[in-house]
Every structure is written in structure tokens, then in C-alpha cells.
């Protein structure tokens, strides 16, 4: 009886906490949209929760700036982020499946080696990476931003953990007995089972690549090849006399739109993954 009485209270508290967290998560997005509709003069006056009337002026100012190739930046960011998400999730899933499903001498050593790479910061290898791509003639191109996504220890570990909980080895062995080739087993059986994990990591990889500033700033020099984070930083670092805060907020708002679209497209796969029928031993 006591538990029954406590249940409604717990539900009220849980809903209240969720509402507060949702408010804090969405509030900053709302303020960003509001600031994107205000002019530089209005923004200098201080904080406001009410939208302004300079939305189209800010948008036109961003798109018509000849020194700021925004369209090229959006296309570059979309191409790099999409390729990274596809390549990273597919090859990381394949690597995780290989480590999980096959028995070989150096299996534990390979897993340990990949985990060791996981704790190595990007900044540590930045100069060596820069010298490598310069020697390969890939400096000031988007390929150094895409090709390294083939090897992602963090995504590999997530996929490996998911396979351990969702893929029984007996299913793989049954497919082998039926004469299925290894690539067909992975593409037709394993890959669909991993769809929820792939959707989650595709979102994270896309967002991480989209927001990545350090490596593109190190590699890209030509403005037409720059991604959006570099263009935003370029605009933010402009001369004070030519600085337009409304323009900056508008560009940041434009940069967020593709991330929201990708999440809306892939979030349904995450929800489906909760009710995904598991294969039992």
C-alpha cells in the first residue's frame, strides 16, 4: 500500500525534473533563434526573450557577403559530415564484428591496441598527421577530414558492446552452415541487427564532424573549401568596426539546422531499436 501511495509522487517528481531539464535544454536554442532575429544594435542593448524584426536582414547579410562563402561552407560541411558518418559506422561495425565473431591468436591484443588508441588525444598526433597529409599532397583538401573516420576506436567499442548483447554467435554459425559468405552474413544479417546502434553513432559522428574545428582549421586554407565552424570563427574574429553580432547568430542558427534534420531522420531508428525483436539462443 505504501508503494502504491508513493508511485504518483514519484511520477510527479520525475515529470517535474524532466520538464526542468527540457526547459534548460531548449531555452538556449530559443535564445539563439531570438538573437538571430535581432539587429546588432538591439543585441548591444542587452538580453531579450522577444524576437526582433531583423531576421531577413541578417539572413540577407550572411548570404550576400562576398568574403564569406556560406553556401560552400554548408555544402563542404554536409559532404564531410555525411561521408564521415557513413564510413565510420560501416567500417567500425565491420571491425567490431570481426573482433567479436572470429577467434584468432591476437584477438585480445588487437582489442587492447584499439582501446589504447581511444585514449590518445587528437592534438598529440596533430603535427605528425599534418606532415603526413602534406607529404601525400592532401593538404587543403577535405579528404584528410574523411579518410581517418574509417578507424574510430570509440565507435568500434560501442558497436562491439552492442554485438555482445544483441548478436548470438549461433546465428552466425547457422548462416555459415547454410553456405552464406562472410560479407553476405555481415551485410544481410549482422548489419540490420545493428541498425539502432548504427543510428546512434551516425548521429554522434555527424554532429562531431559537423562541429569539428581543430582539424579543419589545421588543414584547410582556401575559403571555398572551409567548413561552417571555420567560417563562423572567421566572422567572429572580424574587425570590431565591421563586426555584426546579428550576422554571427544567424550563421550559427543556419549551422544548427542540418543537425536537427539528421536527428529527426535517424531518431526513429533509435526508438525502433528499443522494441527490436531479439534472437534468442
- Residue 135 sits in a domain whose CATH number is 1.10.3720.10
pLDDT given for residue 8 in this prediction: 81
- Residues 30 and 142 occupy one common structural domain: no
Residues 6+ apart with CB under 8 A from 122: 214, 215
Position 228 pLDDT exceeds 80: yes
- Residues 109 and 224 occupy one common structural domain: yes
Task: Please state the domain count of the chain.
Answer: 2
In tens, the pLDDT along 16-52 reads: 999 999 898 888 889 989 999 998 888 888 888 888 8
User: Is 45 contained in some domain?
Assistant: yes
- Residues 231 and 265 occupy one common structural domain: yes
User: Is 11 contained in some domain?
Assistant: yes
- Residues 44 and 98 occupy one common structural domain: no
Q: Model pTM?
A: 0.83
- Residues 75 and 7 occupy one common structural domain: no
Asked if 63 contacts 187 with a C-beta cutoff of 8 angstroms, the reply is: no
Query: What domain range is 140 assigned to?
Result: 60-274
Mean pLDDT, residues 64-71? 82
pLDDT given for residue 274 in this prediction: 52
- Residues 48 and 77 occupy one common structural domain: no
- The C-alpha cell that represents 100 in the structure block: 567479436
> Which of the residue ranges 44-53, 77-86, 126-135 has the most confident prediction, judged by mean pLDDT?
77-86
- Residues 35 and 140 occupy one common structural domain: no
Amino acid at each position: 500500500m505504501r508503494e502504491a501511495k508513493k508511485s504518483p509522487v514519484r511520477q510527479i517528481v520525475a515529470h517535474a525534473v524532466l520538464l526542468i531539464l527540457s526547459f534548460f535544454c531548449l531555452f538556449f536554442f530559443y535564445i539563439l533563434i531570438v538573437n538571430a532575429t535581432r539587429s546588432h544594435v538591439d543585441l548591444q542593448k542587452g538580453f531579450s526573450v522577444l524576437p526582433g524584426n531583423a531576421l531577413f536582414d541578417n539572413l540577407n547579410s550572411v548570404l550576400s557577403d562576398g568574403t564569406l562563402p556560406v553556401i560552400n561552407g554548408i555544402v563542404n560541411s554536409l559532404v564531410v559530415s555525411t561521408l564521415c558518418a557513413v564510413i565510420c559506422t560501416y567500417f567500425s561495425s565491420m571491425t567490431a564484428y570481426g573482433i567479436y565473431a572470429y577467434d584468432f591468436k591476437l584477438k585480445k591484443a588487437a582489442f587492447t591496441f584499439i582501446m589504447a588508441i581511444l585514449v590518445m588525444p587528437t592534438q598529440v598526433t596533430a603535427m605528425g598527421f599534418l606532415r603526413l597529409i602534406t607529404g601525400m599532397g592532401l593538404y587543403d583538401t577535405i579528404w584528410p577530414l574523411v579518410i581517418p573516420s574509417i578507424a574510430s576506436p570509440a565507435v568500434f567499442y560501442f558497436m562491439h558492446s552492442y554485438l555482445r548483447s544483441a548478436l548470438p554467435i549461433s546465428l552466425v554459425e547457422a548462416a555459415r552452415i547454410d553456405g552464406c559468405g562472410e560479407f553476405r552474413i555481415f551485410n544481410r544479417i549482422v548489419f540490420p541487427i545493428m541498425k539502432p546502434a548504427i543510428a546512434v553513432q551516425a548521429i554522434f559522428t555527424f554532429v562531431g564532424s559537423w562541429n569539428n574545428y581543430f582539424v579543419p582549421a589545421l588543414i584547410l586554407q582556401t575559403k571555398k573549401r572551409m567548413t561552417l565552424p571555420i567560417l563562423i570563427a572567421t566572422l567572429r574574429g572580424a574587425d570590431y568596426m565591421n563586426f555584426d553580432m546579428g550576422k554571427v547568430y544567424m550563421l550559427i542558427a543556419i549551422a544548427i539546422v542540418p543537425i536537427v534534420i539528421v536527428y529527426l531522420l535517424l531518431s526513429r531508428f533509435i526508438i525502433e531499436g528499443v522494441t527490436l525483436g531479439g534472437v534468442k539462443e
